[in-house]
Amino acid sequence: MLNSKRIIDFKEPTKLENALSTIKDWVFPVIRFYRNTARLFAYAPLVWRDRDWDEAYIMEMLLFKLKRTYKELLNDKLHDHDKTTIQSIRVCIKLMSRMTSSDDEKENKRQWYYHNFSAHMSKWPNREFIPIVGSDNFKWEIPDLTDAQREQERHECRIALEIDNRVRQQDEDLFFKIFQKYYQTWWC
Domain-located, residue 88: yes
Same domain, 68 and 125: yes
Residue type, 143: P
Convert the pLDDT of each residue in 45-85 to its tens digit: 999 988 888 888 888 899 999 999 999 888 887 777 788 88
Domain-located, residue 71: yes
Res 131: pLDDT: 78
Domain-located, residue 117: yes
Same domain, 87 and 102: yes
Q: Who wins on pLDDT, 115 or 180?
A: 180
Same domain, 146 and 129: yes
Domain-located, residue 3: no
Res 81: pLDDT: 75
Same domain, 94 and 20: no
Same domain, 126 and 37: no
Res 27: pLDDT: 82
Q: Is the pLDDT of residue 91 over 90?
A: yes
Domain-located, residue 37: yes
Same domain, 157 and 175: yes
Same domain, 162 and 71: yes
Convert the pLDDT of each residue in 119-140 to its tens digit: 878 887 877 777 778 877 777 7
113 close to 56: Cβ distance less than 8 angstroms: no
Same domain, 36 and 66: no
Give the number of domains in the chain: 2
Q: Who wins on pLDDT, 10 or 153?
A: 153
Res 98: pLDDT: 82
Same domain, 100 and 79: yes
- What domain range is 16 assigned to? 12-49
Same domain, 156 and 72: yes
Same domain, 89 and 175: yes
**Span of 35-39, 149-153, 173-177 with lowest mean pLDDT:** 149-153
Domain-located, residue 134: yes
Compute the average pLDDT of residues 129-155: 81
Same domain, 116 and 176: yes
